[in-house]
Amino acid sequence: MVTSLKGRHCLTLTEFTKEELLFILDTAFSLKQRYLAGEKIIPLLPGRHLAMIFEKPSTRTRISFETAMRELGGNPLYLSASELQLARGETIEDTARVLSRYVDGITARVYEHWKLEKLAQYSRVPVINALSDLHHPCQALADVMTIMEKKGRDITKLKIVFVGDGGDNVLHSLMLAAGILGGKVTIASPPGYEPHPSVVKLFEEYASGSYEIERDPYKAVENADVVYTDVWVSMGQEKEREKRVKDLTPYRVTVDLMKHAKKDAIFMHCLPAKRGEEVVDEVIDGRWSVVWDQAENRKHAQKGLLALIIP
């Protein structure tokens, strides 16, 4: 039985057991149902403040966290890195020490994952990863929530396939979320695009599920329940664009590829999408796509997380 998650960090999702992850998801489902029933403000965090540090641009992450916090009765504070003393050389350690005396939680979207680890080490309040180069745990919470909505609560019975860059931060978190819950993820990627060794180590330590790498995308998606992809060139990888596009073009999600999945398969993408590159319009706008429900669930999944870990 889960008692309390107050004060817990969320950097990779491995901070939570299977039972605790399910508790977060159950809370998210409950809060979504209440929101859809007309309860636009559910004051679970009255008077609480959430500092939101952003080194990278954001649409879904920023807006979903801001609205989630407000709908819980709290106050989000958007802080671009250029507006903080971080831009003038103040250390992450000192920033964490100060911010955590003003606010009740910190969420940060950063280029390097080690910055989040430093924030968490020196913060008195929970630190939430809003995206780093290695992990995107809040996206994975929304992903699992969407899969459960569309395919049932027992993901151990599903074939989840990620097509594209196996070193992608979104894939890393999907692997860990599904693995902690006992599920299996198939990764369709070319040689040289495998999951990061640090993520594999976390998976081996914390996950009860499994993952496999399949080089042939058509074989990978055979009888898939879920087909997922992400952009091939993330922020900070622009210099590698030409090579990455060449290597990953065989892994584009097309109508033909989706026809190898189950007839009732769903297509997922964390967005933003580079239409015509990793996925064609006919798929992302087609009958398989649940990407808009997936994007909506970012807010509700994060509400569940915030409600449970903010003291």
Q: Examine the residue annotation and report whether 270 is marked as an active-site residue of this protein.
A: yes
At residue 147, the pLDDT reads: 98
Q: Examine the residue annotation and report whether 109 is marked as an active-site residue of this protein.
A: yes
Catalytic residue among 62, 196, 244, 270: 270
At residue 238, the pLDDT reads: 82
Give the integer Cα–Cα distance in Å for 42 and 204: 38
Catalytic residue among 60, 62, 269, 298: 298
Catalytic residue among 9, 48, 139, 143: 139
Q: Examine the residue annotation and report whether 252 is marked as an active-site residue of this protein.
A: no
From first to last of the 311 residues of the chain, give the pLDDT tens digit: 788 999 999 999 999 999 999 999 999 999 999 999 999 999 999 999 999 999 988 999 999 999 999 999 999 999 998 888 887 889 999 999 999 999 999 999 999 999 999 999 999 999 999 999 999 999 999 999 999 999 999 999 999 999 999 999 999 999 999 999 999 999 999 999 999 999 999 999 999 999 999 999 999 999 999 999 999 997 777 888 999 999 999 999 999 999 999 999 999 999 999 999 999 999 999 999 999 999 999 999 999 999 999 99
At residue 89, the pLDDT reads: 87
Give the integer Cα–Cα distance in Å for 8 and 252: 38
At residue 40, the pLDDT reads: 96
Residues near 158 by beta carbon (within 8 Å), at least 6 away in sequence: 147, 151, 152, 183, 225, 226
Q: How many CB atoms lie within 10 A of CB 223?
A: 10
- In degrees, rounded to 5, the angle at the alpha carbon of residue 115 between the alpha carbons of residues 111 and 117 is 130
Verdict on whether the full-model pTM lies above 0.75: yes
Contact indicator for 137, 12 with CB cutoff of 8 Å: yes
- Catalogue all structural domains in the chain, each as residue range(s) with its CATH number: 18-135+295-309 (3.40.50.1370), 139-293 (3.40.50.1370)
Give the integer Cα–Cα distance in Å for 44 and 50: 14
Give the integer Cα–Cα distance in Å for 115 and 147: 30
Catalytic residue among 109, 196, 244, 252: 109
Three-state secondary structure of 196-217: CHHHHHHHHHHCCCEEEEECCH
Catalytic residue among 225, 230, 294, 302: 230
Tell me whether the omega of the peptide bond preceding residue 217 falls within 30 degrees of 0, making it cis. no
Q: Examine the residue annotation and report whether 230 is marked as an active-site residue of this protein.
A: yes
Q: Examine the residue annotation and report whether 101 is marked as an active-site residue of this protein.
A: no
- 62-66's contacts with Cβ under 8 Å and 24+ in sequence apart are 62/109, 64/298, 64/299, 64/302, 65/107, 65/130, 65/302
Catalytic residue among 60, 136, 172, 244: 136
Q: What are the tokens at 135? A: 């992990």
